[in-house]
Amino acid sequence: MALTFQVIETALEIALMPVETYSKEQSSTGRVAALNSFRSYASRPHQIFLPQVYESILKRIYERLDDRRDFAASGQPLPADIRTQIQMSVFESAGVARMTIAQSGADLNIALVEHEQQARKQKTVVFQVRLNLSEPWAGRVVDVLRQQGYFFGGVLPRWLDSDGLLMQKLECPPDYDGILLWSDFAKELLEFIRKDRESCGT
C-alpha cells in the first residue's frame, strides 16, 4: 500500500502496541512497533529549526519528502517568559502516553516530570512526546528530553501545522528483532533509533 500511494517513511514508534492486541492472530511475541509514512497533498513550504544532535538524520528524511523546508540552526535557549504547555492523552489499555508540547519554556523539565508521574499512575510504559520544529529553541527541547531518557522517533510533517518531531521513551523492553521492515530506509531509521536510545543511557 505504501508503495502504491508513494508515501515516505518518516518515523518509527517503538513498542507502541501490547502483544495482547494480536493474540488472535498470534503474529507477535512482544510489543509491536508502528512505521509512520506521509505524503504531501497540499504543499506548505516553511522554516524549521534543526536540533544539532539530529541534523544528519533529519536531512536524510527531508530529502525524501515531497515538500520543501527551509532549515535553520536551533541554538536559542528555552525562553524564561513562556510557560510550558503540554497536552497529554493516556491510553491505559495500551500502556501509552502521548504528549504534545504546545509551547515550551524554561519550566519544560518540571512540566515533563509532572506529566510522566501522572501517566505512570495509569500504567504507562511507553511515553511519546511531539515537539514543534518551528520553535527556534527546539534543539534545547530535545536536549531536555534526551536527558530524561527520550530518544529519536522521527518527523511528523504538518503535525502541528508546522512539523513535529517525535521523541519516545520506553519503560519496557523493545523487541527490535521482531520489527519487520521492507525498505532500506526504514531499516536505516530503525538502526539510528536503536543507537540513539543507547546513547541516551536507556
Question: Please, which pLDDT band fits residue 187 given cuts at 50, 70 and 90?
Answer: very high
Of 18-32, 64-78, 128-142, which range is least confident? 18-32
Give the pLDDT confidence score for residue 58 in this predicted structure. 97
* Distance, CA of 69 to CA of 120 (rounded, Å): 37
Give the model confidence (pLDDT) of 137-183 as tens digits.
999 999 999 999 999 999 999 998 899 999 999 999 998 998 999 99
Looking at residue 182, its amino acid is W
Q: Reply yes or no on whether the pLDDT at 133 is more than 90.
A: yes
Give the pLDDT confidence score for residue 50 in this predicted structure. 97
Helices (H), the chain: 2-5, 55-62, 108-120, 138-147, 184-199
Query: β-strands 126-132, 96-103: how paired?
Result: parallel
Residue-wise DSSP of 130-170: EEETTSTTHHHHHHHHHHTT-EEEEEEEEEESEEEEEEEEE
Give the pLDDT confidence score for residue 23 in this predicted structure. 54
Looking at residue 166, its amino acid is L
Q: Reply yes or no on whether the pLDDT at 197 is more than 90.
A: yes
Domains of the chain: 43-172+195-199 (3.40.630)
* Residue that the C-alpha cell 519554556 belongs to: 105
Q: Reply yes or no on whether the pLDDT at 25 is more than 60.
A: no
Which residues partner with 32 through β-bridges? 17
Give the model confidence (pLDDT) of 50-109 as tens digits.
999 999 999 999 999 989 999 999 989 999 999 999 999 999 999 999 999 999 999 999
Q: pTM of this prediction? A: 0.93
